[in-house]
């Protein structure tokens, strides 16, 4: 037991405009609509967490704010912040689902624990295997000419991994974009494909086989999240590796996916799993089954990116790298005091105790959509 007690909890809902609309097989997004959790101890230590939901995928910001303020807050005030597993077990008993709110809670508690101990979050959850990793940018602007301009600028920044969001404007549009990228950048570009559930099951194999001509590294979640048997069939008959994202959320889903060989790769996300440590359990199941992982993200600020970077730093094997581009290349502005560390096309794991980043209170207030709760 530590000598620290949770004294206050504040919940902030914020909306940061995006530089451009991003289209997906499951809908369009034009901003970062998240919940920021601020937990302060009686000794003056503040930990930060983020819940980054997407209504068509995991949940809503309104729902996650209510979970944190109404349902979990009464169980946390006066408690020892270092007892992370105790609090996460409580959260699972008090509220069903809402993994993003639980991820925010764990994030803030680990941030505090790291600041108390002097250890980074990646060290707290197992140790740092790497200090940086390649960054993937998602090509998702329905105006492809604008995307090409952005890609050229990022290419100059050292970015070499690009993931096409497909399935929202027709098969010919998807083929045209892939062909154009190969014409301009050749095999120097690492191309990936993400349908975000955008293909009908009956036509998925044909469409994917057409795109295989452009040598994608993987194809992500071509069919609906509940069509797990279909996804497993696609993974069996398609040569290109298939990734499961929406179809695998947590350790239970990862275990079932391994049993039916749902995919060759899992997209590992803190928001799906309900926290960093549960995500590491997903990664362990995948590793035992010979399934690769990829560091995915939701529509996040640099705060959640920092947690994601610590997660991926603690994963023993990481071949396919990560995303975490939103704070740098998607949001009009971030909420961190210093830019999230992306250099030469690589995400660098923040240094220092806890998450290793600090939230700018003025920016937090600027993008708040209502008064803080708590």
Sorting pLDDT into bands at 50, 70 and 90, what band is 58? confident
Sorting pLDDT into bands at 50, 70 and 90, what band is 370? confident
User: Rounded CA gap, 182 and 148, in Å?
Assistant: 12
Domain CATH code at residue 110: 3.30.390.10
Q: Is residue 354 part of a domain?
A: no
User: For residue 300, which of 278, 321, 324, 276 has the smallest C-alpha distance?
Assistant: 324
Does residue 192 sit in helix, strand or coil? Answer: strand
Same domain, 139 and 40: no
Same domain, 38 and 185: no
Same domain, 131 and 24: no
Same domain, 136 and 82: no
Does residue 225 sit in helix, strand or coil? Answer: coil
pLDDT at 229 > cutoff 90: yes
Same domain, 182 and 92: no
Same domain, 26 and 129: no
Mean pLDDT of 319-343: 97
Same domain, 112 and 142: no
Q: Is residue 374 part of a domain?
A: no
According to the model, what pLDDT value does residue 309 have?
Answer: 98
Q: Is residue 371 part of a domain?
A: no
For residues 161 and 190, the answer to whether their CB atoms sit within 8 Å is: yes
Domain CATH code at residue 254: 3.20.20.120
What's the domain range around 341?
Answer: 123-348
Q: Is residue 205 part of a domain?
A: yes
Same domain, 204 and 278: yes
Q: Is residue 136 part of a domain?
A: yes
Task: Determine the longest span between alpha carbons in the chain, in angstroms.
Answer: 62
Sorting pLDDT into bands at 50, 70 and 90, what band is 329? very high
Same domain, 191 and 230: yes
For residues 266 and 272, the answer to whether their CB atoms sit within 8 Å is: no
User: Rounded CA gap, 353 and 128, in Å?
Assistant: 13
Same domain, 142 and 191: yes
Distances 329 to 117, 237, 320, 334, 338 between C-alpha atoms, Å = 33, 35, 20, 10, 15
Q: Which two tokens stand for residue 53?
A: 């939901």
User: Rounded CA gap, 284 and 277, in Å?
Assistant: 11
Mean pLDDT of 218-238: 97
Q: Is residue 372 part of a domain?
A: no
According to the model, what pLDDT value does residue 51 have?
Answer: 98
Q: Is residue 113 part of a domain?
A: yes
Same domain, 241 and 136: yes
Which pTM value belongs to this model? Answer: 0.96
Q: Is residue 49 part of a domain?
A: yes
pLDDT at 26 > cutoff 80: no
Strand order in the sheet with 6-24: 6-24, 27-41, 46-51
Domain count of the chain?
2
User: Rounded CA gap, 231 and 171, in Å?
Assistant: 19
Say which residue, 206 or 23, is predicted with more confidence. 206
Say which residue, 207 or 169, is predicted with more confidence. 207
How many C-beta neighbours within 10 Å does residue 93 have? 9
User: Rounded CA gap, 261 and 159, in Å?
Assistant: 32
Same domain, 175 and 321: yes
């Amino acid at each position: 037991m530590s000598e620290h007690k949770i004294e206050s909890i504040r919940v902030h809902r914020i909306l940061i405009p995006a530089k451009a609309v991003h289209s997906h097989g499951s809908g369009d997004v034009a901003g970062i609509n998240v919940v920021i959790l601020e937990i302060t101890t009686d000794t003056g230590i503040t930990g930060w967490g983020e819940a980054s939901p997407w209504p068509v995928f995991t949940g809503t910001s309104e729902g996650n704010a209510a979970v944190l303020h109404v349902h979990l807050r009464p169980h946390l005030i006066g408690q020892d912040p270092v007892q992370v597993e105790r609090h996460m077990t409580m959260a699972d008993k008090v509220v069903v689902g809402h993994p993003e709110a639980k991820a925010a809670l764990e994030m803030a508690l680990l941030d505090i624990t790291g600041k108390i101990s002097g250890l980074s979050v990646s060290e707290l959850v197992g140790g740092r295997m790497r200090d940086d990793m390649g960054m993937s940018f998602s090509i998702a602007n329905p105006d492809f000419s604008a995307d090409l301009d952005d890609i050229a600028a990022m290419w100059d920044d050292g970015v070499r991994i690009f993931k096409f969001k497909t399935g929202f404007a027709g098969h010919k549009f998807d083929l045209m974009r892939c062909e154009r990228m190969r014409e301009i950048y050749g095999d120097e570009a690492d191309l990936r494909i993400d349908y975000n559930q955008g293909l009908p099951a009956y036509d998925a194999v044909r469409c994917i086989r057409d795109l295989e001509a452009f040598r994608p590294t993987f194809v992500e979640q071509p069919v609906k999240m509940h069509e797990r048997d279909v996804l497993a069939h696609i993974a069996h008959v398609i040569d290109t590796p298939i990734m499961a994202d929406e179809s695998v959320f947590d350790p239970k889903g990862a275990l079932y996916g391994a049993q039916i060989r749902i995919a060759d790769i899992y997209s590992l996300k803190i928001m799906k799993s309900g926290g960093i440590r549960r995500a590491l359990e997903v990664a362990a199941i995948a590793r035992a089954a010979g399934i690769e992982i990829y560091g995915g993200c939701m529509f996040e600020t640099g705060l959640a990116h920092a947690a994601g970077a610590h997660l991926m730093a603690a994963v023993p094997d990481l071949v396919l790298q990560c995303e975490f581009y939103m704070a740098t290349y998607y949001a009009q502005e971030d909420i961190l005091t210093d830019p999230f560390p992306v250099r030469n096309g690589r995400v660098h794991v923040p240094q220092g105790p806890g998450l290793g980043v600090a939230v700018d209170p003025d920016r937090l207030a600027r993008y708040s959509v209502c008064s803080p709760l708590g």
